[in-house]
Amino acid sequence: MEDSTLLGWNAKLVDRFESLVEQAPHGVRVGGQATIDQILARPDIAHQLSRCGLEYVFIGVETPEPGSVGGFSKDIGARHGNWLDRAARAFDILEQADIKIGVSLLFGLGEGWRERDALLGALATWRRNASVRTVSMNWAVQHPLCGQDGGLGYEYLDWALDPGPLLDVMRHFGEASTRYTISGGTAPELNEAIDIVSRVDAVMERKPLELEKSDG
């Protein structure tokens, strides 16, 4: 799976892909990414890709209120409902097309516990409805981006996380750093990271995290 949406969720490209799949002697099995608003704009593409062998779609839900953390370029359908409601509608479309769903959650954007609680509550609902099969988590990290780091001036010469209890917890996140946070973001702290991981583990029915919180 590459880090872009599958065929751009573009009808012409999907038609071309379908014609190639029809020529394949043994069919194909495919997974990829799509955005919430791409799926809502063209639900027919989900069904077409399912017929072509699309088995799962991974969606970056990230945060419950994109506007509260500066916005996302992929949040283009705000006039059609709030972010989490649109996500739920997109999941319904994928389920109807018999496509499995994975989601990505992003923390450290500057959100508070109200936003996190809304996000994790939505995850619990999607899981109960059997929509979401898997989840990944990241803590927002500033990438070098060819030196365009918003004036933060990071040199990226040190490890992103120091050894210790926090490092053990953050292995549950794909990306995380206490040094290279984004502008306006927050670095992870031990107790909040444990709370997040514990809640996600409970929702996803995974073995619980066995670490002690800090007294600080």
- Sequential pLDDT tens for the chain (216 residues): 456 899 999 999 999 999 999 888 777 889 999 999 999 999 999 999 999 999 999 999 998 888 777 777 787 877 888 999 999 999 999 999 999 999 999 999 989 899 999 999 999 999 988 789 999 999 999 888 776 777 778 888 899 998 899 999 999 999 999 999 988 899 999 999 999 999 999 999 887 766 555 565
31 belongs to a structural domain = yes
209 belongs to a structural domain = no
211 belongs to a structural domain = no
Identify the H or E element spanning 37. Answer: helix 36-41
Domain count, the chain: 1
> Which structural domain range is residue 74 located in?
6-204
Contact 108, 186 (CB under 8 A): yes
This prediction's pTM? 0.86
100 belongs to a structural domain = yes
210 belongs to a structural domain = no
163 belongs to a structural domain = yes
pLDDT score recorded for residue 213: 59
Contact 199, 209 (CB under 8 A): no
The CATH number that applies at residue 151 is: 3.20.20
Paired tokens of 100:
């499995």
**Positive/negative CA dihedral, 153, 158, 164, 165:** positive
Taken as a whole, the chain contains a residue count of: 216
* HEC secondary structure over 52-94: CCEEEEEEEEECCCHHHHCCCCCCCCHHHCCHHHHHHHHHHHH
Residue owning tokens 């210790």:
164
Strand partners for 44: none
Contact 108, 174 (CB under 8 A): no
Across the beta sheet with 54-62, the strand order is 30-33, 54-62, 100-107, 132-139
214 belongs to a structural domain = no
Kindly report the CA angle at 167 between 166 and 169, in degrees rounded to 5? 65
29 belongs to a structural domain = yes
pLDDT score recorded for residue 80: 84
Contact 211, 165 (CB under 8 A): yes
pLDDT score recorded for residue 160: 93
pLDDT score recorded for residue 70: 74
